[in-house]
Amino acid sequence: MPLKLSLKQKEQFYQELAKFVESGFGFDRACQSIAELGQAPQLHRTICRSIRKHLESGESISEAMRKASPSITALEWTVVEAAERGGVLEKGLRRLAEYFHRLRETRQILWRNMLYPVAVLHMAVVLGVVTTKVAGAFQGDGPSGAAGAFAFLTDAGSGILLWLAILYLLCAIFAVVIGFIFQQGQTSLWADRLLQRIPVIGGARRYLALSRFTEAFSAGVTAGQKMSRSLRGAAAAAQSAVIGKAGNRIAKAAEEGKPIGDAFLAQGRAFPGDFCRSIHNAELAGALDKDLERWSREFDERATAGIKAVAVWLPRILYGGVVCVVIFVVIRFALTYYGAIQGILDMDPY
């Protein structure tokens, strides 16, 4: 069964590793300390034991991390690889801890904003079923008294469960479809381009990909890694088919000895124009490392703003769903009530 770390667990994992490495522990000893610490989370200890196993077979730290768990993404082992080669492993680990801390805080804002409208949607379903059953009771010839009340509650309860089951099924289907498209967006150009066209969500996702790209690229350049290697690592870390393909093209240009600034300008559709021009000028000025650090922060801020915008719009969409449910309930109640009154008026008094 694949080991899956949450954002909080990843933040804590890299914080602990950075703490040990900064204290003079070797990476292998740091992993050993975490693996033997009884109070450490079970997933942390399991991954550290797996990392040590690969380190003992002679593999590099980044390669050992990549093979230790599917939960460790290309961004993580790319940053670690660059930091390892540059002799600044503790800084790379700290960068990852800070990255997952920012991402976790932003997602918490999104989920907090979703709680109230989700609760309101559930209440709308419950009230909709109950009011419909009440209106229908006017037409019924069922039992009265305690037996009638029990039958009404049973009928209303089954109706609520049925509509909630339908709601959950639709949400599950939607989540599976969206999850599949998001997964395909990492390797498929059509899926990535489709996702970029989704209002609000597409922009937030694109800036997250750009944030991962510049984070990995900056780590490689700062560590003095070969330019083409840094670019290929950043392309893999982006988790975006469009940005990944463009990054690999730029890496190929770097291998051919061409200026990467010109290559970025040629891939302007994949990257923002101001970013490409800035990279071009920074390369000429010999300040590429500082410029990449600035853009890493910039894209991270834009991604955060984009996720916050999603956190604003998703509740509005849910409120729209609530309004539709309420309108449906009101119309259905009115028609049922009208039918009941009409039935009473049409009754033969004799």
pLDDT in tens, 58-83: 888 888 988 888 888 888 888 888 88
Most confident of 15-19, 106-110, 219-223: 15-19
Contacts of 326-331 with CB under 8 Å at 24 or more apart are: 326/124, 326/128, 328/128, 329/124, 329/127, 329/128, 329/131, 329/132
The DSSP element (H or E) to which 269 belongs, if any, is none
Task: Specify whether the CB–CB gap between 58 and 126 falls below 8 A.
Answer: no
Residue 296 above 70 pLDDT? yes
The Cα–Cα gap between 157 and 166 comes to 14
> The dihedral of CA 216, 256, 225, 266: what is its sign?
negative
Mean pLDDT of 289-317: 86
Q: How many helices (H) and strands (E) does the chain have?
A: 14, 0
| Burial of 16 from C-beta contacts in 10 A (0-12 / 13-18 / 19+) | buried
CA dist 174 and 176 (Å) reads 6
Read off the pLDDT of each residue in 224-253 and give the average, rounded to a whole number: 91
pTM, 2 dp: 0.74
Give Cα 107 distance to the centre of its chain. Answer: 8
Domain ranges of the chain: 1-72
Q: What is the pLDDT of residues 180-208, one digit of tens each?
A: 888 888 888 899 998 888 888 888 889 98
Local structure of residue 256 (DSSP, 8 states): T
Largest CA distance in the chain: 102
